[in-house]
Amino acid sequence: MKKISMLMFTAMLAAGVAGCGNKTEGPQEITPTSSLQAIEEAPPSDMVPVDKEPGLVKNAAPVYPEEAMKNGLQGTVYVKILVDTEGRVKDAVIAKSDGEIFNQASIDAAKQFQFTPAMKEGKPVSVWVVVPFKYKLADKVETK
């Protein structure tokens, strides 16, 4: 049952962030990687179940780095985002990256996200989520 709700959550968030801007394709999905905050001062551990995953309220598309565009570079950056008990982004770190040139733009965009908090036993908890930021030059072609 938790697996089904996780898949539904990921699908709903993917639909919600698919059109996140014109600068890049933007995040296509958000994958929860953690759930329960045992000690509020320390980041939560990975892969702890919650009753309700965080919900995306606001996203931001990263700016395609000019140097990457000039050099024809494309790629995907996975950003691990710490969502606090109020749904704010507390931290954002690179989990995986196809190119360092995209990292800072992805972090900057991730820090602008807002969520509804994850819930465990009726209380908000901090969690980690992973968001992919995709950079594709085909999306940059303008029609005249």
Q: Could you give the CA distance from residue 144 to residue 129 in angstroms, rounded to a whole number?
A: 39
Residue 112 has pLDDT above 70, yes or no: yes
Q: Please indicate, yes or no, if residue 24 is contained in any of the structural domains.
A: yes
Domain of 134, CATH number, reads 3.30.2420.10
Domain count, the chain: 1
Residue 38 pLDDT exceeds 80: no
59 part of a folded domain: yes
Q: Could you list the residue range(s) of the whole structural domain that residue 69 is in?
A: 2-139
- Percentage of the chain beyond pLDDT 70 is 62
The torsion angle over the Cα atoms of residues 17, 120, 42 and 32, rounded to 10 degrees, is -30
The per-residue pLDDT for 49 is 82
- Per-residue pLDDT, averaged over 11-30, amounts to 43
Calculate mean pLDDT across residues 116-138.
94
The closest of 117, 138, 143 to 128, measured between CA atoms, is 117
pLDDT at 31: 52
Answer whether residue 144 is part of any domain: no
113 pLDDT band (50/70/90 cuts)?
very high
Is residue 7 one of the residues assigned to a domain?
yes
Sign of CA pseudo-dihedral 47, 57, 62, 73 = positive
Check: CB of residue 63 under 8 Å from CB of residue 26.
Answer: no
Q: Return phi, psi of residue 142, to 5°.
A: -100, 140
- More confidently predicted of 80 and 26: 80
